[in-house]
Amino acid sequence: AQTVTQSQPEMSVQEAETVTLSCTYDTSESDYYLFWYKQPPSRQMILVIRQEAYKQQNATENRFSVNFQKAAKSFSLKISDSQLGDAAMYFCAYMSYKLSFGAGTTVTVRA
């Protein structure tokens, strides 16, 4: 069974600065997909970024980028130029035949 671990329950970042969220996963599969989702207080789940495991190139979406280390089973999210609207809970997710989530990291942005 695959597990997803987010070791940082909370992270705080100054507006315009950079923050990195950690995620590790455990799997015996070779083909899978990884995601970061954002959940603001509205409870809506919003996809931030996705990564195919067979792609070595790290995914980027505007201010969001990942550092995917397949051998280390690590998938961290970097938020650059943090904005007040980035404040939310962030979930790392793993997908092979089912979609599993980590416990989440709450990000607060200081003005």
Partner 1 sequence: NAGVTQTPKFQVLKTGQSMTLQCAQDMNHNSMYWYRQDPGMGLRLIYYSASEGTTDKGEVPNGYNVSRLNKREFSLRLESAAPSQTSVYFCASKAPSGVTEAFFGQGTRLTVV
Binding site for partner 1 (CB under 8 A): 6, 9, 31-33, 35, 43-45, 47, 50, 52, 91, 93, 95-104
As a whole number of angstroms, the distance between CA 98 and CA 102 comes to 13
Nearer to partner 1, 28 or 111 (CB): 28
Coil, strand or helix at 86: helix
The least distance separating partner 1 from the CB of residue 52, rounded to whole angstroms, comes to: 5
The least distance separating partner 1 from the CB of residue 43, rounded to whole angstroms, comes to: 5
Nearer to partner 1, 31 or 111 (CB): 31
Q: Burial letters for 14-36: b for 16+ Cβ neighbours within 10 Å, e otherwise? A: eeeeebebbbbbebeeeebebbb
